[in-house]
Structure 1
Amino acid sequence: MTTADLTITPLTVPKSVDDADAADFIAFGELNRLVCDEEVGLPDLSPTASQMLASWQDESDSLHVGYIARRGGDIVGMVTLAYAQEEHAKAAEFDLLVPAAHAHECIAESLLLYAEEDARRRGRDVLQTWTLHRPAHTEDALVPKTGWGRIPSTALSQLLEAHGYGLEQVERNSELDLHADPGILERALAEATAFAGRDYCALAWELPTPPALRDGYAAVLARLVTDAPSGDMEFDEETWDADRVARRDVRMTSAGQLVAVSAVEYVPTGEIVAYNELLIGPDRAGVTHQFGTLVATEHRGHRLGTIVKCANLLRWRELAPQSPRVSTFNAEENRPMLDINEALGFVPVSYAGAWQKKI
């Protein structure tokens, strides 16, 4: 089937999902969940339209734009792009959303070219996207440039390869049963706390971040793109301060979301040197998502990753007792963090491929 009858138009960002012009944005949320379900059987990997709306409305730190592909009035695909707003930023992150029913109709290719042109117009020359995959069971699976992990080929990965994108990294998506015996978490936390010693102090809060902690939290959040394993992905360094933390808090707690933070302070300097975040939507019986987790490079080797993970998971059982499981992504080469996950009972359920192209 050709794309001669395909129309591509901008995605409208409404003031509210209850507004008359919100239909396309709601469809965006539904399509995102459908694609996650079709690709790996995990629709909850995607937030709902209500959960995403605040991030799309606030352009202070990241600009989000989207385009809808229609045929005969029916939505047959979308592409969304995110642009960091730092002056030095040169990357464009995009997400291609085409349901299986239209996977072989050249729609994804049309949207890909549209996204690349949008990035060029905005002066970006590094394009990045992620693909979802079930576990690889074939000898001809794709191996990233890092050499860690492998994923099966899909229609979307083949399209990206054909257009010059390289597979830079594989991430593992793991889940933990939140209703399992907490003894493993309790023992691991006690052992890690004793090992770390008195120079490290545990902190905990729910968003919004207390004003006294915003500067320290901003400093460690800024290090996620520089300290986390990322292969050759060229992520733009981010500028963080207390005001940006406050803006992020508003976005992350929109639509009734709950976010808990576990952190570690290095007592001699007062710096926050490790953190872990857990988030759940307004349905407290839904899946929990682990957002950022990081231990600052110079403080690794003190089991701080175990401390922030275990402390947050144990507290989460009280904050969201109905949530059945927590989902997280980690780079396959990040063995220290994967070792922690595996010891705590996380099991792999899907994988993501990180792709990049320079134009």
Structure 2
Amino acid sequence: MNETLPLEELVLPAAVDARDAADFLAVVALNNAVCADDAGTDDLSQTPAELLAGLRDTADQIQRIFIVRDAGAIVGCVIVGHATAEPTSTQFDLMVLPQNWGRGIEDALLARAEEETRALGRKVMQTWTLHPGRTDGPTITPTTGWGVVADTPLARLLASAGFALEQVERNSAFDLQAPMDAVRAGFEQSSIAAGEDYRLVEWTIPTPPELQEGYAWALSRMSTDVPAGALEVDEETWDAARVERREARLLEGGQTMSVVAAQHVTTGRLAAFNELVIGADRTEVTHQFCTLVLHEHRGHRLGMLVKCANLLRWHAVAPESPRVSTFNAEENRPMLAINEALGFVSVSHAGAWQKKLD
């Protein structure tokens, strides 16, 4: 059944408690409900303050929200975003609850995402779907050949619209309330392996001024040094100002981030880093954002070193947080091996989809 329900663009409120914030709060609730339903976990929820801070700052990414109403209630949404400095792609999140699937809402939202991409003159569309950790039904294998995801209605919609599943990511969780013996052992062993060529530096954002440029360089390498399958990823340009803007968004959303990095003693360059983030409620789930060992510094167990050091540091930052949630590409075996050795367990999966426009 296809219904003709109009799309409209959502105007962002100035604050989450503003008088006109009701529609935005409904979108946040829809986003969290869809994530929980698709992945089978509540760990991926965002607070209104976190989501609004990212949406309102348009210096590095511009995001537009399109909604569909039925009898006044928001029954579907798509957020279409594009980086301001990188020219190739748009990314979008399409949200429709199962009870509203099949009415044509999802088709209209996907069509709008493509219209926005074409209007920007961009040639690549990318989106990520969430999937349960286990499924007894049909599965889809990505072009990388690593991992599978459940064959869901959204996956079928994307495939029928010309998208290819390019990569599968594993969502893993680490129990922060369990004994940390494996983490301490990993820290000691990796410290020995790293030797005197590297030293640890650690901070809670905002990043100290003397580390901003080096941190910016390391963050830029996330676009070049992380496995991406056949996804078209622009090389990102970062500087101290972009680091400051990113951290301002996190702080505005009530979030705290701890960073531990391995610094190459000879050059002073950051060779590896790990980020842990939590919202205003320190009893909620912790999220690992970026973890990277720059390719020229691999082979010294720096990934294990920074990850263990930050997990140990995190107990002082958020001692009541129950667990860490993180995503890694299934083909990123070195990082997954670290996670598995420390006790991370698989919870859900994400699929990275891409369509190239004519």
Range of TM-score over shorter length? over 0.9
Post-superposition Cα deviations, 1:247-295, rounded to whole Å, max 9, x if no partner, equal: 1110112232111001110111000111110111111000000001111
1:37 and 2:52 correspond: no
In the alignment, what sits opposite 1:82?
A: 81
1:22 and 2:26 correspond: no
Post-superposition Cα deviations, 1:16-63, rounded to whole Å, max 9, x if no partner, equal: 111112111111111111001111222230311211111111111111
Task: State the AA in 2 paired with 1:261.
Answer: V
- Distance in 1 (alpha carbons) for counterparts of 2:333 and 2:196: 26
Q: Where do 1:273-288 residues align within 5 Å?
A: 273-288=271-286
In the alignment, what sits opposite 1:178?
A: 176
In the alignment, what sits opposite 2:63?
A: 64
Task: State the AA in 2 paired with 1:129.
Answer: T
Q: Where do 1:190-269 residues align within 5 Å?
A: 190-269=188-267
Q: Where do 1:98-117 residues align within 5 Å?
A: 98-117=96-115
In the alignment, what sits opposite 2:46?
A: 47
Task: State the AA in 1 paired with 2:239.
Answer: D
Give the conservation status (yes or no) of the 8 Å contact 1:274–1:295.
yes
In the alignment, what sits opposite 1:10?
A: 9
Q: CA deviation at 1:136?
A: 4.3
Give the conservation status (yes or no) of the 8 Å contact 1:136–1:150.
no
In the alignment, what sits opposite 2:341?
A: 343
Instruction: Kindly tell me the number of residue pairs found equivalent between the two proteins.
Output: 357
Q: Where do 1:112-131 residues align within 5 Å?
A: 112-131=110-129
- Distance in 2 (alpha carbons) for counterparts of 1:202 and 1:242: 20
Task: State the AA in 1 paired with 2:51.
Answer: M
Give the conservation status (yes or no) of the 8 Å contact 1:33–1:44.
no
Q: CA deviation at 1:135?
A: 2.9
Given candidates 139, 150, 166, the residue that maps to 1:141 is: 139
**SS class of match (2:151):** coil
Task: State the AA in 2 paired with 1:90.
Answer: T
**SS class of match (2:274):** strand
**SS class of match (2:43):** helix
In the alignment, what sits opposite 1:327?
A: 325
Q: CA deviation at 1:139?
A: 7.4
- Distance in 1 (alpha carbons) for counterparts of 2:60 and 2:161: 29
In the alignment, what sits opposite 1:164?
A: 162
**SS class of match (2:207):** coil
- Distance in 2 (alpha carbons) for counterparts of 1:341 and 1:231: 21
User: What is the RMSD computed on CA atoms of the aligned residues?
Assistant: 1.1
Give the conservation status (yes or no) of the 8 Å contact 1:227–1:297.
yes
Alignment CA distance shift 1:26-1:135 (3 Å): same
When the two structures are superposed, what TM-score results if normalisation uses the length of structure 1? 0.97
- Distance in 2 (alpha carbons) for counterparts of 1:245 and 1:135: 33
- Distance in 2 (alpha carbons) for counterparts of 1:348 and 1:135: 7
Give the conservation status (yes or no) of the 8 Å contact 1:12–1:21.
no
- Distance in 1 (alpha carbons) for counterparts of 2:233 and 2:46: 23
Q: CA deviation at 1:137?
A: 3.9
Give the conservation status (yes or no) of the 8 Å contact 2:166–2:352.
yes
- Distance in 2 (alpha carbons) for counterparts of 1:214 and 1:176: 29
- Distance in 1 (alpha carbons) for counterparts of 2:137 and 2:22: 44
Q: CA deviation at 1:138?
A: 4.5
Task: State the AA in 1 paired with 2:41.
Answer: L
- Distance in 1 (alpha carbons) for counterparts of 2:315 and 2:65: 37
- Distance in 2 (alpha carbons) for counterparts of 1:336 and 1:342: 10
Task: State the AA in 2 paired with 1:102.
Answer: N
- Distance in 2 (alpha carbons) for counterparts of 1:331 and 1:201: 28
When the two structures are superposed, what TM-score results if normalisation uses the length of structure 2? 0.98
Task: State the AA in 2 paired with 1:97.
Answer: M
In the alignment, structure 1 segments of 5+ residues that lack a partner are: none
- Distance in 2 (alpha carbons) for counterparts of 1:241 and 1:63: 19
